[in-house]
Structure 1
Amino acid sequence: MVSLFNHFTIKLFCVLLVFALSACSFPSKRQEESIAETSMKEKIGQMLTVGFDGFVLEPKSPIALAIQQRQIGGVILFDYDLKHQAYRKNIRNPAQLKKLTTALQNMAKKADQYRVNSAESSYPLIIAVDYEGGAVDRLHSRYGFPKTYSAQQFSKLPAKQAEQQAKNMAETLVTSGINVNFAPVVDLLYGPETFIARKKRSFSSIPEKVEESAEFFSRAYGKAGIACAYKHFPGHGSAVGDTHLGFVDVTDTWKKKELKPYQYLLAQKDACPIVMTAHVVNRHLDPGGKPATLSKAIIQGKLRDEMGFQGIVSTDCMQMSAIADNYSLSEVLKLSINAGADMLIFSNQQSPVWQNPADVIDLIYAHVKSGEIKSSRIESAYQRIIHLKKKLSDVDKNIANIIDTQ
């Protein structure tokens, strides 16, 4: 009897053990759904590039928490704080900037240890800046960085000097720990009253001259392991108004030749891997009147289908008044992603409240769950961003390449 009892006990123990192991080995449907949701939200997070306040990375700051929780793919740095009308955003001097970018990358690497797909490789955080030269120069000489030229000045330099200047700017980015530059501007120069002309941000009114000048930068940045971006597609040069301040329509002033620099530059082997959209309305390309950033006709139709661009489409800042004053955040996210945008920028410069990326992720995820945004659209954006990150070398190692070519 005792022997029979022991035999029964052993069998029962084995059955319970098998059941327990099965429960551990095969997650429940709820567990699987939770993992899938987290994975999708992390992929959405990679699409977000955000701005923040501070010269140093505070461990419990909003931006630190966003990095630690894998809610963003990148950051964008500024010198001037629009909200407070003061030069106190992120950049004080070369040493401080390098310390900040190093801290950002170190925190991103540490956060990668806790990602959902632990088999996936670790990729660098995108650390971006608008470093055009001239009026739009976040790494200004006033902070101890080398002097730069405006686009108009640059286009007049002899070829050898222009090439050297582009290499010098690439070196500045490398030594600062910045791996993405939202430049060069390839908008054509119109009359002096236009927004781009007032800031001297255009190389020329002649497409071929714009192409020549922009190519100096794409070559230098590519060799340095820095991703650059052509902007502002499909052309902002004729706009008199400022999309930072409100709605801008270029339908009556835009010319088809404004597409020529994109057609030429994107066909080159050293082309920038990113194209940034404009927030302008252009009814020649979108009869419905959506700003380019939200227009499937312009992004998917013109840029991707007609021009064959397969790289990353980045929005300009989504908090600029041309967008934020005319559309809800939920609508903007749905329209821009469905239009073909891969990288969404929230610079946190104009909005009085810091845009929490977790809230953006939740809005996008809700659209995916409802079917208003296809999961394949998120996947394609994610794959493009990861493909770029694979190519973003450790910028510290690229300084030797630049110096060797000078």
Structure 2
Amino acid sequence: MKKLVQLLSYMLVFVLLLTTPVSALTPSSLTQQGKKPVVQDNAKQQMVQQMAAQMTPEEKIGQLVMPSTHDNEQSMPNEDTKELIQEYKAGSVIIYGNRDAETTAEYNNQLQEWASETNTGIPLFSTADLEYGVNQHVTDATAFPRQMGIAATRDLEAAKEMASVTAEEMKAAGFNWNYSPLADVNTNPNNPVIGVRSFGENTDLVSDMTVAQVEGYQENGVLSTPKHFPGHGDTSQDSHHNLPAVTYDRETLEEVHLPPFQAAIDAGAESIMTSHVIIEAIDPDLPATLSKDVLTGLLREDMGFDGLIVTDAMSMQAIKDNWGAGEAAVMTIQAGADIVMATGSLDEQKETFEALLSAYESGELSQERVDESVERILATKVRYGLFDNRYVDPGEATDVVNSESHKELAESMAQDSMTLVKNDDTLPFDSESDESTLVVGPEIYNQSHYIEDIADAVQGKTNGEVDHYVTSEDPSDSEIDEAVQQAEQADRIIVSTFSASELPAGQSQLVKALGETEKPVASISLGLPYDIKEYPEVDAHIATYAIERWGSAVPVSWEAAVDVIYGASPGGKLPVTIEGHYEFGHGENYEAAAPESAGDIKAFVDQLEEEGAFESDVAPRALKRHLDAVSHYEEQKADEKVIKHMQSFKDLLDHQQTQELMTEEAYNLLQSQADALIEKWEAFAFDSERAMADVEHLSEEIGPRAPGSEAEKEASEYIKGELEKLGYSTSTQTFEFNGGEQQSQNVVAIKEAEGIENPEIVYATAHYDSVPGSPGANDNGSGTASLLELAKIMKDKPANKEIRFVFFGAEEAGLLGSQHYVSQLSDDEINRSAANFNMDMVGTDWDPASQLHVSTVDGESNAVWESVDAASDRLGLEDDRLTLHQLGRSDHVFFHEAGIDAALFIWMEPGTEPGQAGIEPWYHSAGDTIDRVDPEKIQMVGELINSAISDVPIEQEQDTDIAS
């Protein structure tokens, strides 16, 4: 009768639970900072207390124990597991082993069915270690990068999304509690158990990543468990085999190791797992799992945690060898833990239940202490809706865990985690090449499939032959010799290393020996990223963070490494320091190919938009609209406008980044692309500052350059030297004047046309002498300097015509320089000659000189005029700045007389009207000084000639097209 009454009481409670509003069951309150993990409905809390009050001692103790399950030959739970649930009243289970999603769902349904058949019918916490995703125990589920790899991405949103996806897959397979993430700060590079399972060595980074994942799990209905409190990151021993102790002081504990746990608590973490580590600063005698000073004093009282405290596996040697299952179970509950993870043999698990029950019945464990944990456990089960629907659909589980979007997220995160630690111009390898590749690496825990899988991935990326060679974990001298012999037959080498603590010496010797073959060698660390410090001379190195100390495989990471080797962009930054070699945060990138045009950058914007790098479509739309305008100016070959608008594009990027409209990676990429395009066009842009330096040298350092003088000869040598610096083949023509009593010279440099036989010839000319008593700054100096600058910027500019830069001497002696040059041209050269652009006083700074005259001998337009008029339109110059003018003397006359279209470019002289000739007194006088040179006017003329020469119409019938 008593049992019937008790059963009716339970049934009443469950009916009330199931009829309580859903809002009282949801875990939405879990992430509210400072909220204790209690049911947020007073009636519901009272029902939890009533349920606990009705439970027998066996049922209460059962809720405090989490045994690992036992399986039959079909990988389903066996009768031993049923006994633990139904006879020992286990309230939770931890599941090991590997099954597909459908089988896992059936497995969890069976466990929940057995629990439902007990007197209380309380649903189970079904738990697992799923640190890198459900794939850790569900074979067809998604495998994500390990935590150190996730931290290498520096992407908190991705970290949270990974946890959200994992929670979705967990629930589909029947799990409701994950022992993840690790909140350990891995400050000991030789830590034998944490390593790549940690987010890294930086407390802030670990804290931020921990919070992101706690929120990702719990907002999606799965309990999250930061571990291993109060920190396992500085240990030098593995608690699976020994009892580690850390000796740092309380300040180090509080500043380095506790903040991630505090951040998780503040974010509403539902549970925290203890470590089997002695923290001497708190309790020098007992490991944290058994220490009341740690669990109650530090975690509960000092840090304000009121969620579930679950122990790490109690079968680990740190506990088992020193206290045994029963004694340790009692000690941890006394210390403040809520759930004992009983993972030993069936006998040890039963011992755990029996020891706790005995301690409870004897009073060693107080009713208050036990009831506190029981109520906390039941309240959490209510809050997470375990009473609502304990079963899952096995058929749906397969579809959920095989989601293509989940796989794509894992692949994207894996590539973003790949850390290119070193690259001496070795990577990427050319995937189109037929070169052969040797893949070398060690067995990992006696398994060769890791290296074989990498070789298969390499074969999928290259056209060349791929061979592989697997050594032992610590390669012998003979194995190293064999690897080197095979490497001698290959064109390039990929070598993998693996360490869970210290790298075996044979592996580092292998990498060094392969490097001595002088073949390109790329190394991959499959485990800890510190391996490269043992072989720092290697050509290139990628850290993958792919395999932890048990050898669990995360192929998505080494496949991403192979992708990076063959050109995919590495996105990772080191989450740790590689002492003596690389700092925290280090990570190299492949430079994106320099853009040829704004269209190339627009293609990057499209790609980034597709990858989700923008908050909305507003930012990329504005960027692409701006780039379309730049493309318009590129078509016009308007160098300065391209540069100006690309600078505005950079300003737009700055604004969008400040407004957080794009990711930092997208911002950095587009900024570098913009800089590269600006640099390209700056190479083709006229630079008046450089021209002014030549003006200064000619007019001040050399001074007046009278025909036939040593100064004129010095000027010609300077001009020739500047052209030779640019790589031009130069020549000098010497001619006589003044009845043969004096000599002058022309300097010539030729830019060959590209890929054209017998090309048309365009001349760009100026003279460099000056009359006695005049520095020649505004007269011949500015024209010469402008021509030198044009030679600089046209050196690397594609051309479909031959461009000849000719610097004439002795103008004042009857314009003999140009006359002599034209007289030396052959009939073939005359026939191929299209135009002559002659620059004279192009930099005068005189107020009335507001019009630039394009002077022809007869005042009629010709090919030169048409080209410069079209260039003026493209450059947006005002109409009144450019005037067709007649001037029947100067260097262009002799080209005209030879039948070559020619024009002289000269600023309107003070007081001179169109059609008139005249030179004011300050020209060819001591007043012709450098302070009368206007860089802006030189710039304008330089831009015009630069653009006009490029587009000069070779035949007159082209004029209309050019002008349009």
Aligned to 2:224: 228
Provide the C-alpha distance between the structure 2 equivalents of 1:303 and 1:322, rounded to a whole number of angstroms.
Answer: 21
Provide the C-alpha distance between the structure 1 equivalents of 2:157 and 2:230, rounded to a whole number of angstroms.
Answer: 30
Preserved CA contact (<8 Å) 1:78 1:138: no
Aligned to 2:570: none
Preserved CA contact (<8 Å) 1:130 1:137: no
* TM superposition shift of 1:68: 2.0
* TM superposition shift of 1:70: 5.0
Match among 299, 303, 319 for residue 303 of structure 1 = 299
Q: What amino acid does structure 2 have at the position aligned with 1:335?
A: M
Provide the C-alpha distance between the structure 2 equivalents of 1:233 and 1:324, rounded to a whole number of angstroms.
Answer: 19
Aligned to 1:265: 264
Q: Which moved more, 1:145-154 or 1:164-173?
A: 164-173
Deviations 1:158-193 (A, max 9, x none): 344333322221111111110010111000021321
Match among 94, 101, 109 for residue 101 of structure 2 = 94
Preserved CA contact (<8 Å) 2:156 2:208: no
Aligned to 2:77: 57
- In structure 2, list runs of 5 or more residues that go unmatched: 6-52, 404-408, 410-964
Q: What amino acid does structure 1 have at the position aligned with 2:314?
A: M
Provide the C-alpha distance between the structure 2 equivalents of 1:75 and 1:245, rounded to a whole number of angstroms.
Answer: 23
Aligned to 1:75: 93
Distance 1:189 1:308, change over 3 A: same
Q: What amino acid does structure 1 have at the position aligned with 2:253?
A: K
Provide the C-alpha distance between the structure 2 equivalents of 1:66 and 1:357, rounded to a whole number of angstroms.
Answer: 8
Preserved CA contact (<8 Å) 1:131 1:183: yes
Any idea what SS the aligned residue of 2:374 has? helix
Distance 1:263 1:219, change over 3 A: same
Distance 1:274 1:355, change over 3 A: farther
TM-score (norm 1): 0.77
- In structure 1, list runs of 5 or more residues that go unmatched: 1-20, 26-35, 80-90, 116-121
Matches within 5 A, 1:47-196: 47-54=64-71, 55-58=75-78, 61-79=79-97, 91-111=98-118, 114-115=119-120, 122-133=121-132, 138-139=136-137, 143-157=139-153, 158-196=155-193
Q: What amino acid does structure 2 have at the position aligned with 1:109?
A: S
Provide the C-alpha distance between the structure 1 equivalents of 2:248 and 2:215, rounded to a whole number of angstroms.
Answer: 34
* TM superposition shift of 1:216: 2.2
Matches within 5 A, 1:282-293: 282-287=279-284, 289-293=285-289
Any idea what SS the aligned residue of 1:127 has? strand
Distance 1:355 1:273, change over 3 A: farther
Number of residues paired by the alignment? Answer: 342
Provide the C-alpha distance between the structure 2 equivalents of 1:74 and 1:130, rounded to a whole number of angstroms.
Answer: 14
Q: Which moved more, 1:360-369 or 1:293-302?
A: 360-369
Preserved CA contact (<8 Å) 2:243 2:319: yes
Any idea what SS the aligned residue of 2:309 has? strand
* TM superposition shift of 1:279: 0.4
C-alpha RMSD over aligned residues: 3.1
Provide the C-alpha distance between the structure 2 equivalents of 1:326 and 1:358, rounded to a whole number of angstroms.
Answer: 19
Distance 1:123 1:238, change over 3 A: same
Aligned to 1:3: none
Deviations 1:30-61 (A, max 9, x none): xxxxxx99701210111111112322134xx1
Deviations 1:82-138 (A, max 9, x none): xxxxxxxxx221111111011111221122xx24xxxxxx4321100001118x962
Aligned to 1:13: none
Aligned to 1:275: 272
Distance 1:206 1:357, change over 3 A: same
Match among 349, 354, 363 for residue 346 of structure 2 = 354
Match among 355, 379, 382 for residue 390 of structure 1 = 382
Q: What amino acid does structure 1 have at the position aligned with 2:58?
A: K
Provide the C-alpha distance between the structure 2 equivalents of 1:147 and 1:232, rounded to a whole number of angstroms.
Answer: 22
Provide the C-alpha distance between the structure 2 equivalents of 1:264 and 1:196, rounded to a whole number of angstroms.
Answer: 23
Any idea what SS the aligned residue of 2:131 has? strand
Distance 1:144 1:46, change over 3 A: same
Aligned to 1:371: 363
Identity of aligned residues (%): 27
Preserved CA contact (<8 Å) 1:152 1:201: yes
* TM superposition shift of 1:252: 4.0
Preserved CA contact (<8 Å) 2:167 2:221: no
Provide the C-alpha distance between the structure 1 equivalents of 2:191 and 2:135, rounded to a whole number of angstroms.
Answer: 19
Provide the C-alpha distance between the structure 2 equivalents of 1:212 and 1:336, rounded to a whole number of angstroms.
Answer: 29
Provide the C-alpha distance between the structure 2 equivalents of 1:387 and 1:38, rounded to a whole number of angstroms.
Answer: 15
Preserved CA contact (<8 Å) 1:189 1:196: no
Any idea what SS the aligned residue of 2:226 has? strand
* TM superposition shift of 1:384: 0.8
Deviations 1:301-346 (A, max 9, x none): 0001111111111111111100110113332122211100110001
Provide the C-alpha distance between the structure 2 equivalents of 1:274 and 1:355, rounded to a whole number of angstroms.
Answer: 27
Preserved CA contact (<8 Å) 1:76 1:127: yes
Preserved CA contact (<8 Å) 1:195 1:237: no
TM-score (norm 2): 0.34
* TM superposition shift of 1:388: 1.1
Match among 253, 256, 264 for residue 255 of structure 1 = 253
Provide the C-alpha distance between the structure 2 equivalents of 1:177 and 1:377, rounded to a whole number of angstroms.
Answer: 30
Q: Which moved more, 1:339-348 or 1:161-170?
A: 161-170
Q: What amino acid does structure 1 have at the position aligned with 2:115?
A: A
Aligned to 1:209: 205
Any idea what SS the aligned residue of 1:231 has? coil
Provide the C-alpha distance between the structure 2 equivalents of 1:160 and 1:295, rounded to a whole number of angstroms.
Answer: 36
Deviations 1:195-253 (A, max 9, x none): 2453x011122222112212222122112211111100111000111001011111248
Q: Which moved more, 1:271-280 or 1:158-167?
A: 158-167
Preserved CA contact (<8 Å) 1:124 1:392: no
Provide the C-alpha distance between the structure 1 equivalents of 2:280 and 2:266, rounded to a whole number of angstroms.
Answer: 26
Preserved CA contact (<8 Å) 1:71 1:358: no
Distance 1:168 1:367, change over 3 A: same
Provide the C-alpha distance between the structure 2 equivalents of 1:234 and 1:311, rounded to a whole number of angstroms.
Answer: 15
Deviations 1:348-379 (A, max 9, x none): 3xxxx323644423222222233222111111
Q: Which moved more, 1:168-177 or 1:300-309?
A: 168-177
Match among 40, 43, 57 for residue 40 of structure 1 = 57
Distance 1:197 1:129, change over 3 A: closer
Any idea what SS the aligned residue of 1:309 has? coil
Provide the C-alpha distance between the structure 2 equivalents of 1:38 and 1:258, rounded to a whole number of angstroms.
Answer: 39
Q: Which structure has the greater CA radius of gyration?
A: 2
Distance 1:303 1:323, change over 3 A: same
Relative contact order, CA 8 A, sep 6+: which one is greater?
1
Any idea what SS the aligned residue of 2:312 has? strand
Aligned to 1:30: none
* TM superposition shift of 1:261: 1.0
Any idea what SS the aligned residue of 1:184 has? coil
